Amino acid sequence: MKSTLQKIAYEQELKKVARRLGLTLRGNLEEAVLDYCKKQIEQWVAAHSQPKTLTELLALVATSLGIVFEEIHNTNDLEALLVRIPPQQEPIMARLNTEFDDKTDAVTIRRDHRESWEQPFLAVINCQGWHGFRRYFSKWHEAAHRLIAGQQLQFAFRRTPIPELRREPQEILVDKIAATLAFYSGIFEPVFREEFERSSRLTFKMIDDIRLKVAPDASRHATILACLSYCPHPAWFLRCSMALKKGEERQLPQMRLFPDKVQKTIPKLRVREMSSSPAVSNTGIRIHQNMQVPASSIVGQAFRDPTGSLHEGREPLEAWETSSTGPIGYGTLEVEALRIDDEVWALLHLVKHSG
């Protein structure tokens, strides 16, 4: 939400949701809506036995909200669903053939022609190709929509576009709710604390162990971000790949008119995604998006290794510098990095800092 108009639209959406849920319009409305959703989950958990995994929790939430999830991994799955629930029985199902496309993560349908024992909502989750990596979050996204709908059942068909197209204020809010609930603290945090005490820093192995224990359906990427949010020490997660400077990217269409200049424009290994733990805010250290990865860094070594082997060790923080301000800080980083396809994923942990 960059513009003032977007901010106003989001605040209006928060007020609309707060009224629908019977919440006061005073104070931090986003926090109030998130608290409402967490308390609703807590009530359902209290009324049943404590789920051992987040997958089990999601199943409990889906049942409580009257949702059935249907995963679509290929066209055969979609055809089988339409045979099981044909448009002749449920006319709204006919829209799946035209609106369930590659720009769609999920579709939720309100079933108006169902048997008494069937759930009223069908959430069709796109698991085809790269969508499959987001299937766990997509389910929580659909559940979050139902959580803030209150008693309003006015929609018959709701399509959730891919994240790049989710610009509506409600979709932004629902994404925040889903991100909070998908790694519900009552289940996730105790396991994270136990594992973190053993290693005292974030490692890929620790994160994978946590994922296997409590979030088997979550993607590795989502689990890394969840662990990062609970990490008590300054730490970063980076996804790096070859790219140009932002200025070079903007000028590239014009530069193509001058082939000799294009040849001099060489992509470098740069930070394409950066997430950090809450403790980073107290350090004054900033690793910014599109920052060039130092050639000497363990991150660069991992990228140059096509085997995908884990690279780890310590390196000086001052090696990370910008062209305008120099080193981003002074101290020591503990680094783990591995190449994944044309990217390198890295965990950086600040073990020593001198301001």
For residue 140, CA distances in Å to 60, 160, 186 come to: 12, 12, 16
- pLDDT tens for residues 2-29? 588 899 999 999 999 999 999 999 999 9
The topology (CATH level 3) of 233-354 is Beta-Lactamase (3.30.450)
- Asked if 96 and 79 count as a contact pair (C-beta separation under 8 A), the reply is no
- pLDDT tens for residues 290-307? 999 999 999 999 999 988
- pLDDT tens for residues 142-176? 999 999 987 665 678 999 998 888 889 999 999 99
- Asked if 211 and 195 count as a contact pair (C-beta separation under 8 A), the reply is no
- pLDDT tens for residues 70-123? 999 999 999 999 999 999 999 999 999 889 999 999 999 999 999 999 999 999
Report the candidate in 225, 210, 206, 230 with the shortest Cα–Cα distance to residue 334.
Answer: 206
Q: Is residue 247 very low, low, confident or very high in pLDDT (cuts 50, 70, 90)?
A: low
Bigger pLDDT: 314 or 200? 314
Q: What is the pLDDT of residue 325?
A: 83
Residue 264 clears pLDDT 70, i.e. is over it = no
Q: What percent of the chain has pLDDT over 70?
A: 92
Q: What is the pLDDT of residue 124?
A: 98
- pLDDT tens for residues 129-138? 999 999 999 9
Q: Is residue 258 very low, low, confident or very high in pLDDT (cuts 50, 70, 90)?
A: low
Q: How far is CA 69 from the centre of its chain?
A: 19
Helix (H, G, I), strand (E, B) or coil at 151: coil
Q: What is the pLDDT of residue 324?
A: 81
Residue 260 clears pLDDT 80, i.e. is over it = no
Sign of CA dihedral 218, 221, 225, 231: positive
| Predicted TM-score of the model (pTM) | 0.89
Q: Is residue 323 very low, low, confident or very high in pLDDT (cuts 50, 70, 90)?
A: confident
Q: What is the pLDDT of residue 152?
A: 60
Cβ burial 214-249 (10 Å sphere, 16+ → b, else e):
bbeebbebbbbbbbbbbbeebbbbbbbbebbeeebe
Residue 25's identity, in one-letter code, is: L
Ranges of each domain in the chain: 4-72+104-181, 183-230, 233-354
Q: Is residue 355 very low, low, confident or very high in pLDDT (cuts 50, 70, 90)?
A: low
**How many residues does the structure list for the chain?**
355
Residue 255 clears pLDDT 70, i.e. is over it = no
